Every structure is written in structure tokens, then in C-alpha cells.
Structure 1
């Protein structure tokens, strides 16, 4: 078995304390050329690994677009903040233009000092997919973190996972923004995103924004919005804006997460999906210690024309807002063995904020409710 080739930015001209853009560009360009034939398929595989051993300041894209497809690239650091790339320019740090699949990042951080910057712009017509991050961190100020885009007749930019990662900093749009061009119907097929035991504790912006569809699974971790946007607008953990969607692509499952929106300008979820949204054994009781009058109208969970919504074994604060502007169809909203943390919210009238022309038709069921709501 051949020994993998190790690429280090230091071998391509990095100098401590100076801009390392050219050195990082040369490093990624070298990786682009170190490919071998995949015996089991037609996409060449990487024969190298990029290793980051310190802090690198860059001012432009270090992974620029390249022709052809490739897979299996690994970028490995020494640990969060021990290995860090600092972006000072306004461009995306990485651009994946329908090229790289099966990319893995381990033990490194990414920080932006430019609010116009983004971490990754990925556009696909079938090539870009299957990226994974383990023990990685984003911090600083960004326009967005990861942006997933692509023309019509594209159904990739799928199969993403994040393990034990830390989302810090602030985002004008979102840390993960999928379906950047919602007029393209095919972007509904950007699917299968998993976040496991992540620390999503950031200052402002949306954590996950899906303008088109997605199948999202979140398990464990701490989710906190620490501040509020400077412009006073809403920050959200989950933001699913209004738009057209296929029935099969609107799915969110969240399990075992404690949410702290911390400010009434911030929300746990704002969803216009008509698919299935499920919270299992979650809590959002950061407001429980405040007097009820401190946030009488605060509704951290908001749905418009929902299809399936389920809360099971959850501890809930604030109110839940359901806005129904059309006659409900195939709708089921269920609270199963859940509880309201604030005593004044332990009734239907106090807990629900029902709005819209069809508010009286919203279908809500309680099962084994810990507060006795039936």
C-alpha cells in the first residue's frame, strides 16, 4: 500500500504573521493534481492529505474552481484554534464548483474578520456532495458560512455531516444556507444533513436556513444565540422561508437539544414547511426564570400553514405560534408527554398564539400531557 502524500502550506511559502493566500492556493492546487484512478468508478481519488499546523491569514479564495471531478480529499489540523485559517477578504474562502466529493475536515478552525466573507460556496450539477466536518469551528463575522447552490437539473450538494463542531461568530444570512437560488426547483433535492453533538453557540444570524427542501437530523449538543442582530432583525436556529417545495423533502428531526434563544428577537424555529418537523426530548426553557410579563408575546416556535409538527417529551417556554392562511390539509400537530415550564402558560389559551384566516381550523392534539392539557 502506498503512503499518502502530505501537503503543508509551509512547504509552499507561508511566513508567520504575513498573508498566506498564495501559499494556501499552491497547496490546494497541488492537491488538485495528486489524483489516482478509482478502480471502482470513474471519479479520480486524492492521493494526498493537507495538514494545517498553525494559524494562516488569507485574503482571497484558497480553493478556487477547477475542472473535472475528484473525491476523497482530507484537510487535517492539530485542533480547534491550534490550526486556524483567518479570512480577511470578502471572497469565499473555498469554492467547490461541481468538483470535490467525499471531502473531510478534522480538528481545525476558520475565522473571518470581514463581514462580507463566506467560508464555502458550493455549486453542483451532480459532482459536489458528501462533505464532513469533525471537531471543527467557525467564528468571526461572515455573510454566510456554507452556501449550497446550483443550476437546474442538479440534485447533489447532499450528504453533509458535522460531528462535535462549534458554530461561533455572527452571520448576516446563515451559517448553513441551502437552496441559495430558490427559484430553481431542483434545489429541493439538496438532502440529508446531520449534526451530532455540536456546540451551536453564536452571536447572531440564522444557524440553518433552507430556502428549498432538505432532510435534516440534529442530535445532542448545546444551541445558544448569545446576542441579537445589530439591525434588530430576527435570528433563528432553524429558518425555512416560504416557497414551493416537493412533498418528500421537508423533514426536520431534532433530538436531545437544549435551546437558549436568550432574546425575544431570536427564535428556535420559523417554518413554512408543510412536511414533518419533530422535536424529541428537547427544552427551550431559558426564559423560565423571568416573570411571565417579561415576554408575554414571545413565541420562539413559529409555523405558517404547517403539515406535521410533533413535540414529544419536551420542556417548553414562551408561546407557540401557528398561522393558518389556507384551509389545513393533511395536518397533524401533536404534543406528547410535554410540559410548559412557565406556570402561566399551562393552558391552551395561554400557550397557543393562533393566527390567520383559518386559525380556528388548526388541528392540535395533546397526549399524556404533563400539564393536563387535553
Structure 2
């Protein structure tokens, strides 16, 4: 990248010493980036400059300080706000730190208190090599809204779509309401193709969720928020839900470590929450491959799934990181000193809402604690849990899968119990 292609925030007055308020300087620098489109490739706006944060600590004190969405004139459409190719980057996730430090109070409006608010405007964007720290638990990192034909929910945003956004090599610290929120109305379409690559979450308490896809009143079109990829991420957070997908979605997790760290919790924190809303087929697919999950409390869950149909697959994953402590100290079938002398319920499936559930597969996984299936008497033909080639670290098969029915809809094959010592 040539120097002429870069807008350096320090050239617009940012100090980056962690003391001065750099909000005005950063907003001016971003305005220069957004004023640099060329229309030689397409009729839409294609940016020719990128926003750069050199090493330093930049304090931003206003919502939308990094990026906002201006209100459109009456009758205007998304093209006047849309930008292709926005890039915001730093010198590294520990070298260039953005501190979000507003005086925001709690709000039920998801558009409020975000560092980035993007409505119907971002395509092929990249945000990378930066650290983000929040000093206020009412703040969120990013909120993305879309509507292909605005139904009047947020008419000032017009209509459009946004997709193909990379969040890469980021470090997230502090206390946040949420990290990323994906929302839309009854005409929502393309809040899709989101890549989280080498994202490090360290010691965060999520008030809502790390990533939330789908907001009330949950219009069916939010099920079109598809293709979310998490690649080699290191999520080590204290409390709250990491992923909350209320409306289905095509979700892929490849590699990395997911660790819930707070051992003193008295309420449940869940790594992956898949909601119970009844939506169209084709939007229900979850895949985790080669992921290391670690729960450290009786109140921690790897997954809480209420999906009606579709597929949930864990392949070559492990949630037994603390099993060496549990197994070596285990005296009876359900004695777990590291978890309050009770076997932890690590995976939950609730199929009572619609009487059906997805096909769930565990292939070549190492699993500890027990799994719970909640069904009802009207259980339909869809829904089964299959364990193939798995190691059950702490529970024999007879007590590993527990169901509200006498016999859970399941299949065990080629599995083994790692004996206690």
C-alpha cells in the first residue's frame, strides 16, 4: 500500500497518548477516507484510501466515533451511503489500541452506544491489527443493520445490504454490552459473510453477547444472516454468552480455543447459544472443527441449542481441558471436586418448543460431564444425537446422555470411556 493511499489519524490531530481525547481527530480522518471514492469500477462508491492508527493509545469518547451512518434525505436510497472496500487498521493488536470511553447510560435501543454503527453501507470491509478496550459496560463495539426495502423501522437509514466484512487480528478487552450486533427488519437480507480471524477476547464480561445475530422482534428475514466464520480465534472471557444466534444461521468455527474463565460464577454463561425461533429450512447449520473448549464452572455451558431442525456438528473437538483434574480425583460416578462435586452439564438441547430438533453429530470428540436433551411426548421424527468415535472422559454412556424421556433419540457407536484412576 502506498503512503498516498493511507489516511493517518495523527496527521489530523490525534495524539495517541491514552490521555487526550482523539475523537474529533479520528472523525475528521474518517471523513477524509469516506470522501475518497472512485466510480470507475462500479456505480457504487469504491474507496481509494484506508484509515490508519499508528502505534499508540487513542481515546474515543463518543458513540459512532469510529464510524456512523448518517441519516438520508427523504426518499434517498442506500447508494448514497454505501461504501466498498473500507479498511481500518493499526500496527498490531497490542501496538495500536482504541479505548472507547463514553459516558453512555444503559439503553434498550441497539443503535445507541456503539463505536461503529453501520446501516446498509458496508461491503468488502476490513478492520484489522487493532486493540479495542471498553471502560463502560453500556458500550458495544459494532452494530450492523440492513433492510433491502425499508419497512419503516429505521427510515433514516434508507435500504440496502452489507456483507463480506473481515474482523482480523483484533484484541478485545474491558467490559462491553456486546461485541458485534447484527440486526434487520422484515426486509433484511444481507448482513452476511462475516469473518472473524485471529480475534483475541481477553478477560471480557459480556452484558449481552460477544456476537449477537438477531434482535427482537425477530422478523423471519433475519434468518438470512448467513455464513459466519470464526477461524483460529482465542476467546478467553469471564462471563456472558459468546455467540447468540437467535435466528439460525450458517456458522462455522475452525480451530482456536474458547475458555470461560470465571470459576466463581453463580449464573449460567454459555459459549454458543442457538435460539428457538421457527424459521425456514436451510438456515440451520452449525459446524465446529478442531476447537478446544474449556469450561471451569458448574455454571458454564459449551452449547445451549433450541433449533427446530438442521444440523449441528462437532468434529475432532475437545471440552476435557480440566478433565485431568476431574478424573484423577473422581471417587464415584458423579463426584467432581473441581465442579462442586457435581458432574457439569456441558451441552444442552431443548426440543420442546416445536417437538422436533436437528441432527446432532459428535465425531471423534473428547467430551466430559454430561449432555442433556429436553424433549416432549409429541416428539416428531426429526431430531437425533449421534456419537461416533468419541472419548467420554468422565461419564459412562449410561449416564452421559440424559433425557426427559425414558430413551433419548440417540445413537452411540465406536465410543470409549476414559477410566478414572
Question: The TM-score by the shorter chain falls in which range?
Answer: over 0.9
Instruction: Tell me the residue number matched to 1:240.
Output: 274
* Partner Cα separation in structure 2 for residue 181 and residue 109 of structure 1: 30
Quick one: which of 88, 112, 121 aligns to 2:143? 121
Instruction: Tell me the residue number matched to 2:244.
Output: 209
Contact 2:239 2:269 in 1 (8 A): yes
Q: Deviations over 1:286-320 (max 9, x none)?
A: 34222341353421100011321000000100000
Q: Which moved more, 1:293-302 or 1:82-91?
A: 293-302
**Structure 1 residue 116 displacement after superposition:** 0.2
* Partner Cα separation in structure 1 for residue 135 and residue 186 of structure 2: 34
**Structure 1 residue 55 displacement after superposition:** 1.2
Q: Per the alignment, in what secondary structure is the counterpart of residue 91 of structure 2?
A: coil
Instruction: Tell me the residue number matched to 2:366.
Output: 315
Q: Indicate whether 1:302 and 2:348 are aligned.
A: yes
Instruction: Tell me the residue number matched to 1:8.
Output: 8
Matches within 5 A, 1:256-295: 256-273=290-307, 274-288=309-323, 289-290=325-326, 291=330, 292-294=334-336, 295=339
Matches within 5 A, 1:74-153: 74-89=87-102, 90=104, 91-125=113-147, 126-153=160-187
Q: Per the alignment, in what secondary structure is the counterpart of residue 27 of structure 1?
A: helix
**Structure 1 residue 371 displacement after superposition:** 3.9
Q: Deviations over 1:256-300 (max 9, x none)?
A: 111111111111000101221100011111342223413534211
Q: Indicate whether 1:351 and 2:400 are aligned.
A: yes
In the alignment, structure 1 segments of 5+ residues that lack a partner are none
Contact 1:217 1:252 in 2 (8 A): yes
* Partner Cα separation in structure 2 for residue 205 and residue 38 of structure 1: 46
Q: Deviations over 1:29-64 (max 9, x none)?
A: 22221111152x332111001111121001112111
* Partner Cα separation in structure 2 for residue 363 and residue 242 of structure 1: 19
**Structure 1 residue 364 displacement after superposition:** 0.4
Q: Deviations over 1:38-91 (max 9, x none)?
A: 52x332111001111121001112111135211101112111121011001131
Q: Per the alignment, in what secondary structure is the counterpart of residue 335 of structure 2?
A: helix
Q: Indicate whether 1:72 and 2:97 are aligned.
A: no
Q: Per the alignment, in what secondary structure is the counterpart of residue 29 of structure 1?
A: helix
Matches within 5 A, 1:129-208: 129-168=163-202, 169-208=204-243
* Partner Cα separation in structure 2 for residue 3 and residue 335 of structure 1: 55
Instruction: Tell me the residue number matched to 1:18.
Output: 20
Q: Per the alignment, in what secondary structure is the counterpart of residue 115 of structure 2?
A: strand
**Structure 1 residue 127 displacement after superposition:** 2.1
Distance 1:43 1:3, change over 3 A: farther
* Partner Cα separation in structure 2 for residue 100 and residue 229 of structure 1: 40
**Structure 1 residue 243 displacement after superposition:** 1.7
Distance 1:145 1:228, change over 3 A: farther
* Partner Cα separation in structure 2 for residue 76 and residue 161 of structure 1: 16
Q: Which moved more, 1:323-332 or 1:108-117?
A: 323-332
**Structure 1 residue 252 displacement after superposition:** 0.7
TM-score when normalising by structure 2: 0.83
CA RMSD of aligned residues (A): 1.9
Q: Indicate whether 1:332 and 2:384 are aligned.
A: yes
Instruction: Tell me the residue number matched to 2:154.
Output: none
* Partner Cα separation in structure 2 for residue 293 and residue 259 of structure 1: 21
Q: Indicate whether 1:30 and 2:80 are aligned.
A: no
Distance 1:114 1:2, change over 3 A: closer
Instruction: Tell me the residue number matched to 1:369.
Output: 415
Give the aligned length.
364
Matches within 5 A, 1:249-260: 249-260=283-294
* Partner Cα separation in structure 1 for residue 123 and residue 290 of structure 2: 30
* Partner Cα separation in structure 2 for residue 127 and residue 38 of structure 1: 21
* Partner Cα separation in structure 1 for residue 413 and residue 344 of structure 2: 24
